[in-house]
Chain A
Amino acid sequence: MIDLIKKNSLEFFNANGLPSKKLENWKFTSSKNFKSFNKSSSSIKNQKIESDELSIVFVNGVLDKNSLKNFKFSDLLEVKNLDELNDKELLRCSENFLKESMFNLGISEFENGSYLSFKRNSVIEEVINIKNYFFENGNNERVSSFNIFHINEGSEISIIEEDIKENHSIFNLKLNKFICENSTVFKYGKSFNDHSQTYSLSYNYYQIKKDVVLSVDSIITSSFFNKEFIEVDLNNSGSDAKINILNLGKDEQHIDNNILINHKAEHCTSFQHVRNVLDNKSTAVFNGKVIVAEGAQQTDSNQSNKNLLLSLESNAFSNPQLEIYADDVSCGHGSTTGALDENSIFYLRARGIDYSSAQKILIKAFAKEVIDDFSLSSLQDISEIALDSWING
């Protein structure tokens, strides 16, 4: 089944090529440098990686099964190669992603994808660390990966994902699917603090069933190019999806969030909160959309994008959208872009706090409001350190 999907995807990519700026999600993001990357050779160096009992390790996007030997909760985990899956529904991808040529390229290229399924009623209080190691086979490689995480009924799972790279130039094309069955709690966090010249393009698809609590927390600092697509399908009633993203950009970094939340059932809530702090010539893009389908009554949705520009040469492009086809809903969205408030700086300085410290206090306050909303307290701690380091760096 996978072979057929890969074949169709390759045909799609060959027919459509690299995304152009005519596409809404790529209007402010150039794909021209993607051409300089070639598909990674399948042979990965035999890297020996130490892993602890709370970590699951991926090497160049492929699950390192050795890491599962140390994994404390391996008895709660069922692992298969994606080639072994014959269930169409498990493999089903977002229809919107299937219209994306880069997603299709990733599907056509990935090798040895994994299906990681947490068994029913797996309640794990500790945070599981997903460590993605990237090793060089040659420079300017494109590493494509596709993995599926299945959180089965009654489970509570928390994951923090981290990329660990050597300082070389790669194109990381990462596709993930997360399936949250009925009555699950899934907390997913991401902390990328990447000083390499890596291009990161990721597609994360969340398929949400009934009475699910999903949180997605993310902090990205110092990422050269990071474009992320997040799609959440709220397929059944009573679920709650909360997305909090903080991006800190400097130099000529480009950070790009494309979020689509599909309210397909009644009594669901969703919350998107994306903040960008941009210095120097950095750029951020926010394309956020909430679609409330007919019949998705009692939907409660809020979408907010705030951008703080610290230099005249930084840019933020914000495009929040709402499409509502139900009549008994509460939906709000908003976007602001601006510099630090001079009145606030004056107020702090009038109390004896110097200009530079006043600026830092205000930047931290702006960013910390997102961090405070993170569901994962350990990611809050990591993020505060990363934020301080970014501000004072």
Chain B
Amino acid sequence: MIKIKNLEASIDDKTILKGIDMEIPAGEVHVIMGRNGSGKSTLANVIAGNEAYEVDGGSISMNDTDITEMSIENRALEGIFLCFQYPVAIPGVGMAYFLRSALNAHRKHQGKDEMDALEFLNNAKAILSELGLDDSFLKRSINDGFSGGEKKKSEILQLLTINPKLAVLDETDSGLDVDALRTVAKGVNKFKNENNSVLIITHYQRLLNYIKPDVVHLMIDGKIVESGDMSLVEKVEKDGYSWLEK
């Protein structure tokens, strides 16, 4: 699925990622944990192609296609989906219009016909119902006036509508109460299957009580210093990260 080789990246001339190597095969859920400032969100943004970051070395490939130099939208069309840590509010752009535009951009890229409004609406309503959201959600502007929980649910609604190949969840669990956390986890579990992958970036174990990871990576100062199974999460919860520092 996605292969990251010796990835180095910086922002405003400050190097953040210092050689990341990672591979997430189809059907797997990987987790990255690390302290604030270790480079987790930078990695998520660089995978999504955020132009504020400069890739200084290494490569990212999706299904053997090198996407390191690819535009943001083309990466998205190739199957990368970033669940934003802080989704932006865009007043004046309705959720329904936005979702349908995004979905149809993907369908066009896949050589499929655009989805008509009725079919789109029926699909969207079914997803909304699973997320415990009212149909009126579609009439609101993108994330405008949304609570923290609604913003994260909006991201999951988009994830399930677009159905990408790789979902990168950048601290999607932060600021959520238990009910919202369960809803988000339910959405991610519904999404994942043997043909797609999930990368979860988090500080805490609590989301991982609902979504079981296959591999856990620990990140310090722009590098992945340890990879393993769920026992790593338990160790971090208990001992923090200082045991990883030399």
Cβ-based interface call for B93 (8 A): yes
Q: A-side binding surface: helix, strand, loop or mixed?
A: helix
Cα–Cα, bound, A355→B73 (Å): 8
Question: Are B91 and A352 within 8 A (Cβ)?
Answer: no
Residue ID in chain A nearest B141 by CB atoms: A365
Tell whether A361 is near chain B: CB-to-CB under 8 Å: yes
The contact of B88 among A341, A354, A365, A368, by CB within 8 Å, is A341
Indicate whether B152 reaches chain A with its CB closer than 8 angstroms: no
B73 — which chain A residues lie within 8 A by C-beta? 349-350, 352-355, 358
Which single member of B50, B92, B162 contacts A351 (CB below 8 Å)? Answer: B162
Our pick among A346, A347, A361, A369 for the contact of B101 (Cβ within 8 Å) is A361
A362 within 8 A of B: yes
Chain A 308-348 residues near chain B, CB threshold 8 A: 341-344, 346-348
Within 8 A of B (CB), among A9-60: none
Across-interface contacts of B81 in A (CB, < 8 A): 350-351
For A364, list chain B residues within 8 Å (CB): 92-93
Interface residue A366 (Cβ < 8 Å from any Cβ of B): yes
A350-B48, A350-B72 known; A357 and B88 CB under 8 Å? Answer: no
| Contact A349-B91, Cβ < 8 Å, known A354-B105, A361-B101 | no
- For residue B106, which residues in chain A have a CB less than 8 angstroms away from its CB? 352
Interface membership of B71, Cβ < 8 A: yes
Q: Mark B67-93, 1 if CB is under 8 A from A, else 0.
A: 000011100110001101001101111
Min CB distance A259 to B, Å, is: 23
Chain B residues whose CB sits within 8 angstroms of the CB of A362 once the complex forms:
90, 93
Complex Cα distance, B76 from A355, in Å, reads 12
Report B120 CB to chain A, min CB distance, Å: 14
> Which of the four size classes fits the interface of chain A?
20 to 34
Q: What are the interface flags for A367-384 relative to B under an 8 Å C-beta threshold, 1 for contact and 0 otherwise?
A: 011000000000000000
Give the chain B neighbours of A368 by CB distance below 8 A: 92
Closest CB of chain B to A153's CB: distance in Å? 39
Check B109 for interface membership: any CB of A closer than 8 A. Answer: yes
Contacts A349-B71, A350-B72 given; indicate if A365 touches B90 (C-beta within 8 A): yes
Closest to A366 in B: B92
Find the A residue at minimum CB distance from B144. Answer: A365
CB distance B105 to A347 under 8 Å?
no
Interface contact B88-A347, CB-CB below 8 Å: yes
B:87-120 near A, CB below 8 Å: 87-88, 90-93, 98, 101-102, 105-106, 109
Most buried by A among B49, B92, B106: B92
Among residues of B, the one whose C-beta sits closest to the C-beta of A355 is: B73
Complex alpha-carbon distance, A344 and B92, angstroms: 12
The answer to the question of B158 belonging to the interface, with a C-beta cut-off of 8 Å to chain A, is yes
Rounded to whole angstroms, the CA-CA distance of A358 and B72 in the bound complex is 12
Q: Which of these, A346, A357, A369, contacts B92 with CB under 8 Å?
A: A369
**Chain A residues within 8 Å of B101, by CB:** 353, 357, 361
Which residue of chain B is the closest to A371 with respect to CB atoms?
Answer: B92
CB-defined contacts of B52 to chain A, threshold 8 Å: 342, 346
Instruction: Give the CA-CA distance A112 to B52 in the complex, in Å.
Output: 62
The reply to whether the CB of B51 lies closer than 8 angstroms to some CB of chain A is yes
Residues of B within 8 A of A350 (CB): 48-49, 72-73, 76, 81-82, 84
Please give 19 more A-B residue pairs, beta carbons under 8 A apart, in addition to A341-B88, A355-B73, A362-B90.
A343-B88, A346-B50, A346-B52, A347-B142, A349-B49, A349-B72, A350-B76, A350-B82, A351-B105, A351-B162, A352-B76, A352-B106, A353-B101, A354-B105, A361-B98, A361-B101, A362-B93, A364-B93, A365-B91
Please list the residues of chain B having a beta carbon within 8 angstroms of any beta carbon in chain A: 48-52, 71-73, 76-77, 81-82, 84, 87-88, 90-93, 98, 101-102, 105-106, 109, 141-142, 158, 162
| Chain A residues in the interface with B (C-beta under 8 A) | 341-344, 346-355, 357-358, 361-362, 364-366, 368-369
A-B contact pairs, 30 of them (CB 8 A): A342-B52, A343-B88, A346-B50, A348-B98, A349-B71, A349-B72, A350-B48, A350-B49, A350-B82, A350-B84, A351-B102, A351-B162, A352-B77, A352-B109, A353-B73, A353-B102, A354-B73, A354-B105, A357-B101, A357-B105, A358-B73, A362-B90, A364-B92, A364-B93, A365-B90, A365-B92, A365-B93, A366-B92, A368-B92, A369-B91
